[in-house]
Chain A
């Protein structure tokens, strides 16, 4: 796998911050907690991209059999995602013009 410096766009940073603070969340929970900064139409695409990058992991929520419908997908930050967030936050403090 080619080694490239990980990047963290603003929306991905926000999602990581929310997930790090709460532990694990659903897509809609992230939208609600973001204070309208995330939209429900784009959050799932961003989450999928972040999962491909290895920043977050997801699992299917276990629901009682009595409840119908599709099970929800729950997202949580990976150790790599946490490290990227820490590094990115430091970088943002040192070089704010590059980490917008």
Chain B
């Protein structure tokens, strides 16, 4: 038969260190078991129930009081050690993403200050956040991997982890671009205008955007169709950005160069990428109404980054890191 507290102990063993188990959890459970045994010996059923209840409450209180210390200590130890470079990269990426998203989101809101009337600023801010994510997420992964893995050995395990993080970032970007951005953009426009506004290309879902491009093409409006088709393929190309930037950062980390040189090698392609993206999203041409041309043009920034990665690989092969 299980003794009281055994289940709690095995649960705590999953999350607590052996020292925490020995110093905190075991004394709580041991005291509860001793009290329980005394109540059983004396035949006091009500006391037995009371001891179990009080013991459970004490256990959870101990866990809650100790959790912040435990989590902070484990996080600090892991971030400082060489064994968890990907964790450090993720923390760095999260911080960068927070800063960049705020920087991208606040200026448009401040620019609209005079036209907001009584619209809640916090809600408007939240509605603007999704449209920043497709750009800030790749940038955050770039910075995170660059600083998180700085001066650390890039093992095959780290490479696999970066690949997984990049893929997860791309999936998150797809979800944001496909569903979140159109909905939140439209909600923002309606809230600011205070009446219904017809959706523009940025407010259309992926399928609606494609349908509208086909419809424009059928109506003999190749210029508008081209703009919409390019916008559709730019969104798809942007989905790959998180993965590409994560892998690109890994390539920069593996370069045999100083910190400043690495930052330069990472930031120049990023700025070129973003400039290319903004330029492409603003140009119009009837040629883009051809699917193949739209695809090639939309993927140009990714191709540029891919070529840069190949160049880095060639440099690494020519100048191997001394062992």
Residues of A within 8 A of B (CB): 26-28, 39-42, 44-45, 47-48, 51, 58, 67-73
Contact = CB atoms under 8 A, between A and B. Distances in A.
5 nearest interchain CB pairs? A41-B61, A69-B33, A70-B30, A73-B27, A40-B58
Contact of A70 (B23, B29, B54): B29
Contacts of A71: 30
B284 interface: no
B238 to A, nearest CB: 49
B58 A41 contact: yes
B62 interface: yes
A40 B54 CA distance: 8
B65 A26 contact: no
B23 A42 contact: no
Given A28-B31, A41-B62, A44-B62, A73 B26 contact: yes
Given A51-B23, A68-B3, A44 B28 contact: yes
A69 B238 CA distance: 59
Interface string B32-70: 011101000000000000000010011011100110000
A69 B30 contact: yes
Nearest to A51: B23
7 contacts: A26-B27, A26-B31, A40-B58, A41-B57, A45-B65, A69-B37, A72-B27
A26 B33 CA distance: 13
Contacts of B100: none
Interface string B15-30: 0000000011011111
A25 to B, nearest CB: 11
Interface of B: 3, 5, 9, 23-24, 26-31, 33-35, 37, 54, 57-58, 60-62, 65-66
Contacts of B31: 26-28, 40, 72
Contacts of A58: 23
Contacts of B62: 41-42, 44-45
Given A67-B37, A70-B33, A72-B34, A44 B27 contact: yes
A28 B31 CA distance: 7
B66 to A, nearest CB: 6
Contacts of B58: 40-41, 44
A58 B30 CA distance: 14
Contacts of B5: 70
Residue in A51, A67, A70 whose Cβ sees the most chain B Cβ within 10 Å = A70
B30 A72 contact: yes
Nearest to B69: A45
Given A40-B54, A41-B58, A73 B65 contact: no
Contacts of A44: 23-24, 27-28, 58, 62
